[in-house]
Amino acid sequence: MIPVRAEATGAVRMSPVGFSRSGRSAVAFVDWRCGPTCGHTVGVALTATNDTSWAIADMLLLSSRQR
């Protein structure tokens, strides 16, 4: 785990990226935490726009920690 600096307002962690068989679609999970009761976990679907660029196709809020 990467240490968080004292002046940081939160930390972001990403899952490994999962790719479709064609390699043109992908999914990842992003977890942002700003404290024990603050932050979000989001699923992100990506689509390749060309050989080197990706665009967000869809996002789904999976959980939200309320203050």
Number of domains in the chain: 1
Task: Answer yes or no: is 8 within a domain.
Answer: no
Nearest-angstrom CA–CA distance, 3 and 11:
9
pLDDT above 60 for 65: yes
pLDDT above 90 for 8: no
Task: Answer yes or no: is 2 within a domain.
Answer: no
Could you give the angle at the alpha carbon of 31 between the alpha carbons of 59 and 23, nearest 5°? 55
pLDDT in tens, 32-51: 888 778 889 999 999 999 98
Q: Give the model's confidence band at 67: pLDDT under 50 very low, under 70 low, under 90 confident, else very high.
A: low
pTM confidence score: 0.73
pLDDT in tens, 22-31: 999 999 999 9
Task: Answer yes or no: is 9 within a domain.
Answer: no
Q: Which two tokens stand for residue 35?
A: 């404290």
Give me the pLDDT at residue 1, please.
Answer: 54
Residue 46: name the closest of 59, 63, 65, 31 by CA. 59
Nearest-angstrom CA–CA distance, 67 and 65:
7
What's the domain range around 30? 17-62
